[in-house]
Amino acid sequence: MINPVSCNRGYLDLPRSEFTFFMLFTIFVKLAANTLYPGAPALILIIKNLFTDFGVAHAAKDTALADQIWNNILNAASNLSNYVNDNCGNDVPSLQTSGFTANKQHGVAEVVPGIPSNLRFMVLGGGNFIVVSENGETMHSLQARTRLANQLPPAPWAGGESSQNSTVHFGGYVHNTDVEVEIMAKGTHGDSLYSASVIVPVD
């Protein structure tokens, strides 16, 4: 069986310094004037601006803001590789001119991602928090749902937050409430069930 050509997303799991080096000196260089991907410079500019914002937040020792910006950087980089997927013409050599590496094409189809596990949260204050989960290699994005915890009858679930990496950011929640969070992994060939829930005491 032959699978569609797509970028390997392992670069999203690199340490921050290695990820930055990879983007600056491989991806940006190879995509800046690549005629196969004329829309890449606009997407690169978004990432560059986020790198600048991250540096400012990091220098100010605003860890919460820096972490949120870094999550935005990962999502923007994922959008760039998705753009390459969509415009490589299902051709491995064309994809690799972008600097990204291609997933294997031969073999069984990519499996449905497993249920996110080991959910951990960090309360950031001001109604904001993050939830981090462990996910398998076939997870392409996460979709979260939330509801007020400890309600009888149970409150209805509400959706909205999503991420293209293992950290989901939540904002605008009410101070001094407990929020129940569940996360679903989405993949090329289907979605997982929702995870076990975690209760977040919102500050």
Whether residue 1 lies inside any domain: the answer is no
Q: Are residues 74 and 20 in the same domain?
A: yes
Q: Are residues 121 and 84 in the same domain?
A: no
The pLDDT tens digits for 25-49 are: 999 999 999 999 999 999 999 999 9
Q: What pTM does this model have?
A: 0.68
Q: Are residues 122 and 88 in the same domain?
A: no
Helices (H) and strands (E) in the chain, counts: 5, 8
Q: Are residues 132 and 185 in the same domain?
A: yes
**Which residue, 40, 63, 96, sits at the end of a domain?**
96
**Which residue, 63, 96, 129, sits at the end of a domain?**
96
The pLDDT tens digits for 133-147 are: 998 878 888 999 999
Instruction: Report the domain count for the chain.
Output: 2
More confident: 24 or 159: 24
> Which residue reads 């064309």 in tokens?
94
Assign 159 a pLDDT band (cuts: 50, 70, 90): confident
Whether residue 112 lies inside any domain: the answer is no
| Average pLDDT rounded to a whole number, residues 151-159 | 89
Q: What pLDDT does residue 106 have?
A: 61
Whether residue 80 lies inside any domain: the answer is yes
CA 99 – CA 89 distance, rounded (Å): 16
Whether residue 176 lies inside any domain: the answer is yes
More confident: 113 or 84: 84
Q: Are residues 161 and 132 in the same domain?
A: yes
Q: Are residues 68 and 124 in the same domain?
A: no
Q: Are residues 15 and 91 in the same domain?
A: yes
Whether residue 3 lies inside any domain: the answer is no
- 67-74: long-range pairs with CB below 8 Å, 24+: 67/130, 67/167, 68/124, 68/128, 68/130, 68/169, 70/16, 71/130, 71/163, 71/165, 71/167, 71/169, 73/47, 74/12, 74/164, 74/165, 74/167
Q: Are residues 80 and 132 in the same domain?
A: no
Q: Give the CATH number, domain containing residue 123.
A: 2.60.40.10
Q: Are residues 180 and 122 in the same domain?
A: yes
Whether residue 121 lies inside any domain: the answer is yes
Q: What pLDDT does residue 129 have?
A: 92
Whether residue 187 lies inside any domain: the answer is yes
Whether residue 107 lies inside any domain: the answer is no
Q: What pLDDT does residue 86 have?
A: 93
Question: Which residue segment(s) compose the domain that 154 sits in?
Answer: 117-202
